[in-house]
């Protein structure tokens, strides 16, 4: 009998996020690779996932979520990644900035700032935590920019200001990308752009930059998480390189759960 098994405690459910996220495809692969029989990956949203995590954590109940770093949940709760001996979730990831073809000619100042943009997990974390604590992302991003002019000026020094040129950044409403996109949007506004932030599903985000309907995204998780999108469109965008290092994805559980590996989900 499976009574009291880990699977029973979890109702054989892995709490996921939006369907287009790379971590969802990786989790389906993990279910396959680890033979997690009977498990269902629940599609929801970044916000619904963290709400489910909060509710379970409060009651010390079992839960397993699709998790990633950087993310404020690790500061707020005592959590752990399940070990992934088969390496389904890949090693360390970097977040890249991707521009549409022609952006360098059309908006050289924006292109240069986007090309220069590079920060670290603690930077992104400050905005994410503020937003989680209730700040409007626009305000949290503006505060970070105001408090980190030394860093921002390394991206903008010598870049010509513009006069209200329209610029569209696209992103998915993942907590990490809400933070980064609002931040760089504010930096671009400060040099004179009229910036619109457009929130889409993952596939739509990549398509928008590949077709030129958006100018750039700062939310490309590589080499693994967004590999499919990257391969699909690699002739149709310019990869401006890494804006954050040491990112990662996996399955995450509260530290009070007595399991350590994805394999233990079968116990």
Contacting residues toward ligand PBE, per CB under 6 A: 17, 21-23, 68, 174, 176-177, 202, 221, 225-226, 249
Rounded Cα distance between 213 and 89, Å, is 31
Q: What is the dihedral of CA 156, 157, 160, 162, to 10 degrees?
A: 40
Smallest separation, CB 190 to ligand PBE (Å): 25
Rounded Cα distance between 36 and 17, Å, is 19
Rounded Cα distance between 218 and 117, Å, is 9
Rounded Cα distance between 108 and 112, Å, is 6
Smallest separation, CB 172 to ligand PBE (Å): 7
Smallest separation, CB 247 to ligand PBE (Å): 8
Based on CB atoms, which residue is closest to ligand PBE, 156 or 225? 225
Based on CB atoms, which residue is closest to ligand PBE, 46 or 109? 46
Report strand pairing: 13-15 vs 40-42: parallel
Structure-token pair, residue 204: 């739509």
Based on CB atoms, which residue is closest to ligand PBE, 65 or 159? 65
Based on CB atoms, which residue is closest to ligand PBE, 110 or 124? 124
Instruction: Return the exposure string of 100-124: e unless at least 16 CB atoms fall within 10 Å of the residue's CB, then b.
Output: beebbeebebbbbbbbbbbbebebb
Based on CB atoms, which residue is closest to ligand PBE, 26 or 159? 26
Based on CB atoms, which residue is closest to ligand PBE, 21 or 169? 21
Smallest separation, CB 22 to ligand PBE (Å): 3
Smallest separation, CB 133 to ligand PBE (Å): 20
3-state secondary structure of 185: helix
Based on CB atoms, which residue is closest to ligand PBE, 97 or 156? 97
Rounded Cα distance between 101 and 256, Å, is 48
Report strand pairing: 93-100 vs 79-81: unpaired
Smallest separation, CB 206 to ligand PBE (Å): 10
Q: Please give the sequence-ordered ranges of beta strands (E in DSSP) within the chain, or none if there are none.
A: 13-15, 40-42, 65-69, 79-81, 93-100, 166-171, 194-199, 216-222, 237-254
Smallest separation, CB 180 to ligand PBE (Å): 10
């Amino acid at each position: 009998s499976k009574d009291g098994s880990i699977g029973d405690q979890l109702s054989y459910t892995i709490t996921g996020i939006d369907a287009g996220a790379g971590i969802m495809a990786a989790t389906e692969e993990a279910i396959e690779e680890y033979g997690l029989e009977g498990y269902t990956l629940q599609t929801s949203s970044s916000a619904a996932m963290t709400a489910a995590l909060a509710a379970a954590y409060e009651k010390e109940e079992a839960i397993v979520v699709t998790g990633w770093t950087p993310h404020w949940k690790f500061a707020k709760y005592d959590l752990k990644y399940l070990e992934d001996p088969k390496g389904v979730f890949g090693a360390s990831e970097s977040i890249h900035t991707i521009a549409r073809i022609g952006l360098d000619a059309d908006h050289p100042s924006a292109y240069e700032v986007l090309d220069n943009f590079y920060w670290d997990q603690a930077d992104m974390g400050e905005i994410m935590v503020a937003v989680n604590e209730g700040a409007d992302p626009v305000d949290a991003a503006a505060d970070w920019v105001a408090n980190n002019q030394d860093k921002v000026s390394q991206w903008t020094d010598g870049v010509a200001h513009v006069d209200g040129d329209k610029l569209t950044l696209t992103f998915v409403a993942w907590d990490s990308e809400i933070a980064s996109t609002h931040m760089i949007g504010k930096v671009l506004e400060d040099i004179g752009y009229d910036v619109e932030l457009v929130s889409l599903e993952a596939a739509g985000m990549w398509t928008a930059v590949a077709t030129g309907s958006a100018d750039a995204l700062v939310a490309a998780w590589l080499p693994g998480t967004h590999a499919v999108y990257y391969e699909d469109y690699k002739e149709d965008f310019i990869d401006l390189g890494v804006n954050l290092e040491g990112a990662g994805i996996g399955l995450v559980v509260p530290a009070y759960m007595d399991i350590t590996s994805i394999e233990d989900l079968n116990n």
